[in-house]
Amino acid sequence: MHTELNAETLNLNLKHKIKKDTGEDIMLCYQCGKCTAGCPLNDEMDISPNQLLRMLQTEIPDLEEKVLKSSTIWLCLSCETCFSRCPKEVDLPKIMDYLRSESMRQNSVNKKASDIVAFHRSFLSTVKSVGRLYEIGLIAGYKARTFHLLQDVNVAPTMLLNGKLKIKPPLIKNRSEIAKIFDRIKELEEKEK
């Protein structure tokens, strides 16, 4: 019997939320560990990918909280090595993506992940204003958010000389349309809260 997906059960556990929002079934995982064995970032993660799935399977609130507070979900590169090898075809990157937004929603972002979050924010804000990637804008935004002012500055002159960093933002046509997309997403997120 499938547990009814009503508001009550949704509040209860992450497993069913993931099922509803991403279509991914955590229960498919049978803990073979192939995802973790192939994960290039596993050594850096505080919870290995297969353990993360097992924790979600149990529906134990303490463990779900640990998952949302883990560094794992932020370190995941979405390289999809795990997904392409998973015998049960569990889309772990998709689940990781979901967990990242859930973690932000619940203000449970891992402290070590603040730089990563800053990078994501900078990236998106340049895309929003420029319409595509603008390196200098991205770097400036990242440094302003993290105060890592001197990080990697020594490579800047060479990159500038070789034309890898464009001073002028590569603006696209109809940038307002891009901004509209961002606004629309924000609107949807507000509604969900």
Partner 1 sequence: MSRIGVFVCHCGENIGATVDCAEVAKMAKDFPGVAFSIDYKYMCSDPGQTLIKEAIKEHNLTGVVVAACSPRMHEPTFRKVAAEAGLNPYLCEMANLREHCSWVHYKDKSTTLKAAELVRMLVEKVKLNTPLYPIKVPVTKTALVIGGGIAGIQTALDIANSGHKVIMVEKSPSIGGHMSQLSETFPTLDCSQCILTPRMVEVAQHPNITLYTYAELESLDGFIGNFKATIKLKAKSVDHSVCNGCGECSAKCPIKKIPDEFNAGLGTRPAIYVPFPQAVPNKPVIDRDNCTYFRKNGKCGLCEKICPTKAIDFSQKDEFITVDVGAVVVTTGFDIKGTDFFPEYGYGKYKDIITGLQFERLASASGPTLGEIRRPSDGKIPQNIVFISCAGSRDPAKGIDYCSKICCMYLAKHAMLYKHKVHSGKASVFYMDIRAGGKTYEEFVRRAIEEDEVNYVRGRVSRIYEKDGKLIVKGVDTLLNSYPVEIEADMVVLGTAGIANPESESLAQKLHISYDQYHFFAEAHPKLRPVETNTAGIMLAGACQFPKDIPDSVSQASGAASKVSALFSQNELTRDPLIAFVNKNTCVGCFMCQSVCPYLAIEKEKIKAKDGSVIREVAKINPGLCQGCGTCVALCRSKSIDINGYSHKQVYAEVMSLFNERSLEYV
Q: For partner 1, which residue of 9, 12, 25, 97 counts as binding (CB under 8 A)?
A: 25
Looking at the Cβ atoms of 1 and 188, the one nearer to partner 1 is 1
Alpha helices in the chain (DSSP H): 7-12, 14-22, 34-38, 49-58, 61-68, 72-75, 81-85, 92-105, 114-130, 135-146, 156-161, 175-192
The span of 49-57, 100-108, 117-125, 183-191 binding partner 1 (CB under 8 A) equals 49-57
Looking at the Cβ atoms of 50 and 122, the one nearer to partner 1 is 50
Whose tokens are 């998709």? That residue is 94
Looking at the Cβ atoms of 3 and 106, the one nearer to partner 1 is 3
Name the minimum Å distance from CB 74 to partner 1: 21
Separation between Cα atoms, residue 158 and residue 176, nearest integer Å: 34
Site for partner 1 in 91-150 (CB under 8 A): none
Structure tokens at 99: 């967990």
Q: Is 32 in the site for partner 1 (CB under 8 A)?
A: no
Q: For partner 1, which residue of 18, 39, 45, 51 counts as binding (CB under 8 A)?
A: 51
Looking at the Cβ atoms of 72 and 122, the one nearer to partner 1 is 72
Q: Cβ(138)–Cβ(105) under 8 Å? A: no
What lies within 8 Å, CB to CB, of 189 at 6+ separation is none
Q: Which residues bind partner 1 (CB under 8 A)?
A: 1-3, 25, 27-28, 30-31, 51, 54-55, 58, 60, 63
